[in-house]
Every structure is written in structure tokens, then in C-alpha cells.
């Protein structure tokens, strides 16, 4: 598995995401994903499946030290007296004494960013978190987080797929030495039906979904989360490291971006996007 290095964090380039996945689905599919070879697992307090993720990892036979485990603090837990206890509860559910990466899930909150960052840093100092980052942040907020934090901010996890131009965020992340973690790469089911991606895939014996993942992973500093509850698609999602898209193909995929391409945009949580 290729990795992306950001401030000492060696992040497996391809991750397995559990967004909107029930605990029974996680219990069934995550052990199979680990068997296929996934070693980067992404969950969150808000997904309400941390306990299933922890049990699946524990029972998989794969060593905890082989897995890069990410979770996220939900906005309701950002207050100083709730932040660290919520993460300790996540660790109990995940059946581990640390996570490899802890993210602030969304930026909009009445709790000052400085307080949130201080809590992240405290957890790093306590050894409960190896690396810290943010999610769904604009470039302006990324800069503020970097300025406020003693520990490096290693990634910004954002919606990123062929229909959403995120080059401004990618450039900012690069300037800070940060990675970008792409979620929703399948664009809520649009990617597998995209004729351009199907045509490109046919040249390599790959599916449109595999082409989109390859497109994301070919970009410097980008890791990507794949997600499926379907057993037959696990191997397909994992088999994206054995081909390279041409510059012309990447440019054609980039040209699919459109002004209304964003899918995830909750007004009570989202920032002013770039």
C-alpha cells in the first residue's frame, strides 16, 4: 500500500470509510476489508459505529499497530469540559489506547477554535492521539488551525470527487505540509455512471469507480476513502494501485467539475467554502 507522509504521519493512501454504515454492516464488512488489505480505517463519533469498528479490528487478527485508525470529535463535544472525555469514550468503544489521527469533524461551533485546538494538543501530549487534523475546513480556517496548534495539523478531510474542484484547498494544504483526505469520491453514486470514467476505465480493464479512486490518489498529498457494504466490491475498490492515468486523462476528469458539484453542505455546520 502506498502511503502519504504529512509531518511524520504515514497515512495509507487508500482508506476504508464507515460513514452512514450501521454497526451490523461494519461488523460484517470491516473484517473482510482488512483481509483484502485495507489498513486505513476511518470512523467518527457521529457515525455511531465506533464500537463495531473497535470489535472488528480486535477480532480481525490484524495487529493494531498495522492499522491507521482515524476518528472525529463531533461538534457537540467541542466544549473544553466535554472534549477529552468524549475522546476517552471513543477510545473505549474502539478498544484501543490511542487513535492514529483525531479530527475536528466540522468547523461551525460556538466553542472558539483555540479551545478545540488546545484540547487536540492535550490529547497528543497525553499519548491518546498520535496525529491531529481537521475536516470540512476552508483554506482560511486551515491557516488559523495551523497557527494555533503546537502539534502539526496533518490533514484536512474534505468532500472531493471529479465534480467538485478543490484545487485551492489542495494548494493550501501543500503549502502547510498537510495531506488532504478525500471523502465521497463516488459522488453519491454519480461516478460509476459517468461515461467519461467508464471510457477511461475500459482502456485499463478498470471500472469507473476505480478510475475515480486512481485519479484522487495520483494527486500529490491526497489520500482517499472508499466505502462499500457489498462484499464483492471490496477487492475492486482495493485494486487501484496497478495502473496510472495519463496527464490528458487527469485533465479530462478535472474538467467534469461544475459550480454546483458540492453534495455535502449542512448550513449549521459548514464554513464559507473556497
Q: Is 184 a catalytic residue?
A: no
In this prediction, residues 138-150 reach a mean pLDDT of: 98
CA atoms within 13 A on the CB side of 184: 20
Q: Which of 47, 160, 176, 183 is catalytic?
A: 47
pLDDT at site 180: 98
- What does the DSSP 8-state code read for residue 163? T
In this prediction, residues 117-130 reach a mean pLDDT of: 98
Q: Which of 69, 154, 84 is nearest to 116 (CA)?
A: 84
Q: What is the tens place of the pLDDT at every residue in 160-170?
A: 999 999 999 99
Topology of the domain covering 3-254: TIM Barrel (3.20.20)
| Domain segments of the chain as ranges | 3-254
Backbone angles phi, psi at 157, to 5 degrees: -90, 120
CA 170 to chain centre: 14
pLDDT at site 232: 86
In whole angstroms, what is the distance from residue 220 CA to residue 224 CA?
12
Instruction: Specify whether the CB–CB gap between 114 and 84 falls below 8 A.
Output: no
175: Cβ–Cβ under 8 A, 6 or more apart, which residues? none
Handedness of CA 106, 110, 114, 117 (dihedral sign): negative
Q: What is the tens place of the pLDDT at every residue in 56-107?
A: 999 999 999 999 999 999 999 999 999 999 999 999 999 999 999 999 999 9
This model's pTM is above 0.85: yes
Amino acid at each position: 500500500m502506498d502511503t502519504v507522509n504529512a509531518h511524520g504521519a504515514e497515512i495509507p493512501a487508500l482508506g476504508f470509510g464507515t460513514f452512514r454504515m450501521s454497526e451490523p454492516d461494519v461488523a460484517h464488512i470491516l473484517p473482510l476489508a482488512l483481509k483484502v488489505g485495507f489498513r486505513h480505517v476511518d470512523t467518527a463519533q457521529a457515525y455511531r459505529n465506533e464500537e463495531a469498528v473497535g470489535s472488528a479490528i480486535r477480532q480481525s487478527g490484524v495487529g493494531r499497530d498495522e492499522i491507521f485508525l482515524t476518528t472525529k470529535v463531533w461538534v457537540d463535544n467541542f466544549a473544553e469540559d466535554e472534549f477529552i472525555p468524549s475522546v476517552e469514550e471513543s477510545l473505549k468503544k474502539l478498544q484501543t489506547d490511542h487513535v492514529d489521527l483525531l479530527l475536528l469533524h466540522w468547523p461551525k461551533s460556538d466553542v472558539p477554535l483555540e479551545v478545540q485546538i488546545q484540547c487536540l494538543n492535550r490529547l497528543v501530549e497525553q499519548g491518546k492521539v498520535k496525529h491531529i487534523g481537521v475536516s470540512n475546513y476552508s483554506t482560511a480556517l486551515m491557516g488559523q488551525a495551523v497557527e494555533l496548534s503546537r502539534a502539526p495539523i496533518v490533514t484536512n478531510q474534505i468532500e472531493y470527487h471529479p465534480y467538485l474542484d478543490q484545487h485551492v484547498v489542495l494548494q493550501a494544504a501543500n503549502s502547510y505540509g498537510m495531506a488532504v483526505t478525500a471523502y465521497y469520491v463516488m459522488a453519491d453514486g454519480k461516478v460509476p455512471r459517468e461515461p467519461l470514467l467508464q471510457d477511461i476505465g475500459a482502456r485499463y480493464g478498470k471500472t469507473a469507480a476505480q478510475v475515480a479512486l486512481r485519479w484522487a490518489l495520483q494527486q500529490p498529498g491526497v489520500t482517499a476513502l472508499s466505502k462499500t457494504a457489498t462484499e464483492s466490491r471490496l477487492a475492486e475498490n482495493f485494486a487501484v494501485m496497478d495502473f496510472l492515468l495519463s496527464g490528458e486523462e487527469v485533465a479530462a476528469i478535472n474538467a467534469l467539475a461544475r459550480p454546483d458539484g458540492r453534495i455535502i453542505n449542512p448550513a449549521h455546520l459548514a464554513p464559507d467554502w473556497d
